[in-house]
Structure 1
Amino acid sequence: MEAQSTVDSAAAARHARFGKLPERIRYEDMVEEKAATPRDAVRDAYDPEGSWMSFSCLAADLGP
């Protein structure tokens, strides 16, 4: 009889813990909105004189 009551109390404990679904989470609580960062004009600017330093060219490596 003790084994039956142990099983029943274990089943009751499981049902108390896992017997229902968790509460729903609202969509507003799952989403975070941040403002976009402004564009950096200095970083995005094109410099034709300095751009050759960032590329590797075989002809430039061989020299004249």
Structure 2
Amino acid sequence: MSKELAGDPAAAARHARFGKLPERIRFEDMTEEAEAGPNSGVNASYNPEGSWNYYSCLALDLGL
């Protein structure tokens, strides 16, 4: 395999850059714990008056 890489400089550059996988990242390093705020989760209330702020419909946007 080294003979193939020596003949083609582009292949050698690709192998140098992508020849091995990156090191594994532990699950503990990928997650972060944060305390929830007082108005989130089970205590969150639904506001029907403000729910239209989060509704998206192309027909309504165009006034159809």
* Alignment TM-score > 0.5, same fold: no
Higher relative contact order (CA 8 A, sep 6+): 2
**TM-score, length basis structure 1:** 0.44
Structure (1 or 2) with the greater helix fraction: 1
